Structure 1
Amino acid sequence: MKRKVVSVMCAVVMVASLIVGCGSSGGKEETKESGDGAKAEVSLEGDIYKIIPEGDLVVGFSTGSSGTSWRDQMIDDFTIVAEEYKEAGRIKDYKIVNNTTNGDATEQANIIRDFTSDPEVNVIIVDANDSTALNEAIADAQKAGKLVVIADTGCDAPGALNVVLDHTAWMTKNVEFVTEALGGKGDLIYINGLDGNPADNARQEGVDAVLKENPDMKILQKTSGGWDQTKAKEACAQILSTTQDVDGVLTQDGMAYGCLQAFQDAGMLPKVMIGDPGLSFFTEWKKLMDEGADFQACAQPNPPGVAATALRLAVNMAEGKELDESKLDGNTYSYIVGSFYTEENFDEAWEILQKESGDYQLDEWLTEEEALELFK
């Protein structure tokens, strides 16, 4: 798969007592005490705070949320790579902690603090629930000599590597498809993910940008579906109880099948919608195509494997390898999804999905060889 780096704003690095301007190079080194008393090598590498823990690596993963099919698959992907590294002797162990309250930043900050005080954990991966609220907890972890890498949603924590999708570009491509399918004019409903989540915020920027250029596209109602099929179905059904004339549906990964079910239960069908890259949605999509229904959809994977990609980079960093700054933008590596499915290339995804369970989402993450290409 072709991958490239997308530009993001340059970060200011300030970790422990080091304060440097954006784009400055490393050189100064410090030694920090890790939770078990071992020394950790700490230095500044471009916009990323380089921390090399001594001793066996134990990875703590704060998932941010739990219980959705996408999040469960993300945890499974992370576990696959963690077990690979554990079997190879590159990590000693790993610990996965989910939020009790999905999307809550305060609870997640406490999880990070628990990892910081854990004498075994020396690498922390965070699927951030907020772009700034975790900064203090992350800084404390870094001061304790623990390497912190952010996965999936992105975070403004100084010095931490962000391994993210460009969620704005991801949503923009989807909304552009819906807009073009409707000829630039139509009434929409929007079932978004989690209000306030960094990924959801970034996707809203994509929605806003496309609709600004297409003033005849209107969102009639918007509500959160929590990235959950059942909740999305309920939210969509509630909207349809009062709103009948809907041309298109904007939604996000892991909610489209629920939305489509709500329409069908109401005896309705949108002309176009953003779909799920999963078997359940594709199965219903195929039925509608076979019936010749006036219906179009697109599906773009949001790979749960981004956490597995973050794990690969974190372990290689903890082992002392130096990132190639030319392949980053500041402290961010942007993973670009190459696949986008419509009726034209439906069969390519269908062949993959028929081999998987109903909750499976089209997925990918960096191989070890691809991960090593990001290092000098």
Structure 2
Amino acid sequence: MKKRLVSVLCAVAVLSTMLVGCSGGSGDKSDKASSDSKSENVMEGDVYKIIPEGDLVVGFTSGSSGTSWRDQMIDDFKEVAEEYKADGRLKDYKIVNNTTNGDATEQANIIRDFTADPDVNIIIVDANDSTALNEAIAEAQDAGKLVVIADTGCDAPGALNVQLDHTAWMKKNAEFIATALDGKGKLININGLDGNPADNARDKGLQEVLEENPDLEVVQKASGGWDQTQAKTACAQILSTTKDIDGIITQDGMAYGCLSACEDAGILPKAMIGDPGVAFFQEWKKLMDEGADFQACAQPNPPGIAASALRIAVNMAEGKELDESKLDGNIYYYQVQSFYTQDNFDDAMKLLDGKSDDYLLDEWFDEDGVQALFK
């Protein structure tokens, strides 16, 4: 298992059903797709087993680009892809980022371009929408291409989703804030991208905690686009009119921007969700050293999730059979092992030593780890 954050995951998550059928008997491409007929993909459980012919070439549509989290995700993906190329298991890979971040129509067209590409036979999608890509994904599957969803959830039938449980992720963070504030106070919420499946799931987790803590109130909300600069601007605009703040709800790659806006305004929250990265941890240490009335938590959302999805996809394309007990429907929930507070702050600082300011604690499967998902 790739060890960027902890010695992760040989342990796997979640329950349940199914898996993989096969797409035709002989494996001849004429059995999978032609200009006149669709591939008869057989579903066992909730996932298609599509074993492409020939050398494996991956097309990766990252959905968005330009944020530190997304750039790190793409770098992680490239690292594993280059490893597989060196091992002779992958012939090549192609990465196409959206021109307009978060746009589902543009991403559907990228998927269709990969479907039309005779070289690409595996498509990995960091989905910008939970349903809008379904038709394009179905077309790729009908053409005999293996499609795996990474990071954000997508309802496309037969496609394996490799993702965090984003609802549980946010719920754990928000529960920390509720405890730190004794269940009462005024919050501002700087969310990611409105409408993004991960953002929607995280909002669900937040709402569950708010329902359990009726004296906690979100007084202002704004989108920070999972970007430090945008988040700082959004937070500063709120603070220009809203001074009475007890806590900040935010997500990965935005907390340092929010904290900077607070310090510029002379307003320090008592508790906030932090970034698992260098810049935030350095500022957090400064506040602790000063004895500030300030608490934070940091739970990684590993950019390496796409690299983990790549490992799973290549092994599936090679014909290995997923272990049904490791899946929940067509979802594999990657389990993050770490959660940082003041109590284990020093452990994170050791892992961040020598990293750039925008680096985020990271992890993904190594080859031994991914084999635990297969029979």
Residue 6 (structure 1) aligned to one of 14, 28, 45: 14
Which stretch of the first structure deviates more once superposed, 326-335 or 61-70?
Answer: 326-335
Instruction: Give, in angstroms, the shift of residue 150 of structure 1.
Output: 0.2
Instruction: Give, in angstroms, the shift of residue 367 of structure 1.
Output: 1.1
- Give the aligned partner of residue 24 of structure 2: 29
Say how many residue pairs are matched.
Answer: 362
Q: Secondary structure of the equivalent of 2:50?
A: strand
Instruction: Give, in angstroms, the shift of residue 245 of structure 1.
Output: 0.4
Instruction: Give, in angstroms, the shift of residue 25 of structure 1.
Output: 7.5
After superposition, the Cα gap between the structure-2 partners of 1:318 and 1:185, relative to the gap in structure 1 and judged at 3 Å, is same
More strand by share: 1
| Residue 307 of structure 1 pairs with residue 326 of structure 2 | no
Q: Secondary structure of the equivalent of 1:29?
A: coil
Instruction: Give, in angstroms, the shift of residue 301 of structure 1.
Output: 0.2
Separation of aligned partners in 2, 1:192 and 1:243: 17
- Give the aligned partner of residue 199 of structure 2: 200
After superposition, the Cα gap between the structure-2 partners of 1:375 and 1:41, relative to the gap in structure 1 and judged at 3 Å, is farther
Q: Secondary structure of the equivalent of 1:273?
A: strand
Q: Secondary structure of the equivalent of 1:116?
A: helix
Separation of aligned partners in 2, 1:232 and 1:160: 33
- Give the aligned partner of residue 18 of structure 1: none
Q: Deviations over 1:210-248 (max 9, x none)?
A: 000100000000010000000000000000000000000
- Where in structure 2 are the equivalents of 1:137-148 lying within 5 Å? 137-148=136-147
Instruction: Give, in angstroms, the shift of residue 26 of structure 1.
Output: 4.1
- Give the aligned partner of residue 294 of structure 2: 295
Is the CA contact 2:77–2:307 (under 8 Å) kept in the aligned structure 1?
A: yes
Is the CA contact 1:138–1:157 (under 8 Å) kept in the aligned structure 2?
A: yes
Equivalent position amino acid for 1:250 in 2: I
Where relative contact order (Cα < 8 A, 6+ residues apart) is larger, the structure is: 2
Is the CA contact 2:14–2:326 (under 8 Å) kept in the aligned structure 1?
A: no
- Give the aligned partner of residue 171 of structure 2: 172
Separation of aligned partners in 1, 2:86 and 2:19: 38
Separation of aligned partners in 1, 2:20 and 2:256: 48
**Gap runs ≥5 in structure 1:** 11-22
Aligned sequence identity (%): 73
Separation of aligned partners in 1, 2:242 and 2:205: 24
Is the CA contact 2:124–2:148 (under 8 Å) kept in the aligned structure 1?
A: yes
Separation of aligned partners in 2, 1:182 and 1:57: 52
After superposition, the Cα gap between the structure-2 partners of 1:278 and 1:155, relative to the gap in structure 1 and judged at 3 Å, is same
| Residue 80 of structure 1 pairs with residue 79 of structure 2 | yes
- Where in structure 2 are the equivalents of 1:202-351 lying within 5 Å? 202-351=201-350
Separation of aligned partners in 2, 1:347 and 1:28: 51
Is the CA contact 2:274–2:296 (under 8 Å) kept in the aligned structure 1?
A: yes
| TM-score, length basis structure 1 | 0.93
| Residue 93 of structure 1 pairs with residue 92 of structure 2 | yes
After superposition, the Cα gap between the structure-2 partners of 1:144 and 1:337, relative to the gap in structure 1 and judged at 3 Å, is same
Separation of aligned partners in 2, 1:80 and 1:36: 34
- Give the aligned partner of residue 148 of structure 2: 149
Is the CA contact 1:41–1:51 (under 8 Å) kept in the aligned structure 2?
A: no
After superposition, the Cα gap between the structure-2 partners of 1:194 and 1:28, relative to the gap in structure 1 and judged at 3 Å, is closer
After superposition, the Cα gap between the structure-2 partners of 1:24 and 1:88, relative to the gap in structure 1 and judged at 3 Å, is closer
Instruction: Give, in angstroms, the shift of residue 6 of structure 1.
Output: 3.5
Is the CA contact 1:277–1:362 (under 8 Å) kept in the aligned structure 2?
A: yes
- Give the aligned partner of residue 374 of structure 2: 375
- RMSD over aligned CA atoms reads 2.0
Q: Secondary structure of the equivalent of 1:323?
A: coil
Instruction: Give, in angstroms, the shift of residue 45 of structure 1.
Output: 3.5
Separation of aligned partners in 2, 1:235 and 1:58: 41
After superposition, the Cα gap between the structure-2 partners of 1:144 and 1:122, relative to the gap in structure 1 and judged at 3 Å, is same
Instruction: Give, in angstroms, the shift of residue 35 of structure 1.
Output: 8.2
Separation of aligned partners in 2, 1:94 and 1:36: 24
Equivalent position amino acid for 1:85 in 2: Y
Q: Secondary structure of the equivalent of 1:96?
A: strand
Separation of aligned partners in 2, 1:95 and 1:126: 12
